[in-house]
């Protein structure tokens, strides 16, 4: 079988589209943000990518119907000028192996190139190893020009973070994207790294909304973040108590990443 199988729903033409990527990772920030973005902008499904670089796994929904793990491309057309068309990549997994990461990223970029993508934004979390009250959005970009363009939007370019560079799809999309002549920025929401973090995703989307010049209603994400806040508070409160089950339950509610 092909390393990456791409099934297209339809043939579509996009005008100077921007690619947005958000896959599972630290705090699931990138995935939360990209999934929310596609829903909020009522993006249409364009293609499904299956691959032997994903685990051999199917998900089963509540009705008992299976779905093979995948990455998926959505698109958004039109919108009020100067908003541009969008391609959004979401998915269940990043590639399992280094080779898989490269092959999958390259495959998506090749498709994006055919749609005329010249610019891309990758969404991710940045683990601080401690609870973060008001997450900042850190940035990394393909050029000095992109760095300067992001600073007025409140994106922080730190001399020290991320020190060891970026591992995974969000960095690789920028790195390989340059070989396709694309410019881009990785937007990293600060997060503890212990929980799924909608508040960090919200911070990332606030920046992205300005970048894309598209208003995004963030209220649903906001209430999800508040719910997590409540559970986290309960969790901290319970930590001193003797019951071992309660924190475990709260941990589950938090989508605890072990």
Q: Find out whether 191 and 125 touch, Cβ atoms under 8 Å.
A: yes
Residue 105 as a binder of its own copies (CB under 8 A): the answer is: yes
Residue located via tokens 């994006």: 112
What are 188's two structure tokens?
């990293």
User: Nearest distance from residue 166's CB to its own copies, in Å?
Assistant: 5
What are 50's two structure tokens?
């299956």
Using CB under 8 A, pick the residue from 15, 16, 39, 58 that binds its own copies. 58
- Are β-strands 183-191 and 119-127 bridged in parallel, bridged antiparallel, or unpaired? parallel
Mask of contacts with its own copies, 154-173, x by CB under 8 A? ---xxx--x--xxxxx-xx-
Mask of contacts with its own copies, 1-30, x by CB under 8 A? x---x-x-----------------------
- Candidates 115, 108, 112; CA nearest to 15 is 115
Residue 179 as a binder of its own copies (CB under 8 A): the answer is: yes
* Helix 219-238 / helix 198-212 crossing angle, nearest 10 deg: 160
User: Nearest distance from residue 140's CB to its own copies, in Å?
Assistant: 5
Q: Find out whether 70 and 55 touch, Cβ atoms under 8 Å.
A: no
| Count of residues in contact with its own copies, rule CB under 8 A | 55
Choices 19-27, 33-41, 73-81, 139-147 (CB under 8 A): range interacting with its own copies: 139-147
Q: Find out whether 103 and 10 touch, Cβ atoms under 8 Å.
A: no
- Candidates 162, 124, 145; CA nearest to 22 is 124
Mask of contacts with its own copies, 59-98, x by CB under 8 A? xx-xxxxxxxx-------------------------xx-x
**Residues making contact with its own copies (CB under 8 A):** 1, 5, 7, 50-60, 62-69, 95-96, 98-99, 101-103, 105-106, 139-144, 147, 157-159, 162, 165-169, 171-172, 174-176, 178-179, 186
């Amino acid at each position: 079988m092909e390393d990456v199988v791409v099934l297209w729903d339809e043939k579509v033409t996009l005008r100077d589209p921007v690619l947005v990527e958000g896959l599972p990772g630290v705090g699931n920030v990138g995935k939360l943000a990209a999934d929310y973005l596609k829903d909020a902008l009522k993006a249409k499904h364009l293609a499904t990518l299956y691959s032997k670089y994903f685990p051999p796994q199917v998900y089963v929904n509540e009705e008992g119907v299976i779905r093979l793990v995948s990455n998926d491309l959505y698109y958004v057309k039109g919108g009020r000028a100067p908003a541009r068309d969008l391609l959004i990549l979401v998915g269940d997994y990043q590639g399992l192996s280094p080779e898989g990461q490269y092959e999958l990223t390259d495959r998506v970029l090749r498709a994006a190139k055919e749609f005329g993508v010249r610019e891309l934004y990758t969404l991710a979390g940045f683990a601080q190893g401690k609870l973060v009250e008001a997450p900042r959005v850190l940035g990394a970009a393909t050029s000095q020009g992109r760095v300067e363009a992001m600073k007025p939007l409140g994106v922080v370019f730190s001399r020290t973070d991320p020190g060891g560079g970026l591992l995974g799809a969000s960095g690789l999309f920028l790195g390989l994207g340059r070989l396709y002549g694309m410019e881009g920025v990785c937007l990293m929401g600060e997060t503890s790294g212990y929980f799924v973090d909608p508040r960090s995703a919200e911070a990332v989307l606030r920046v992205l909304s300005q970048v894309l010049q598209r208003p995004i209603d963030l209220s649903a994400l906001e209430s999800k973040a508040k719910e997590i806040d409540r559970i986290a508070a309960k969790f901290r409160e319970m930590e001193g108590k003797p019951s071992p089950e309660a924190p475990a339950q709260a941990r589950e509610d938090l989508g605890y990443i072990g």
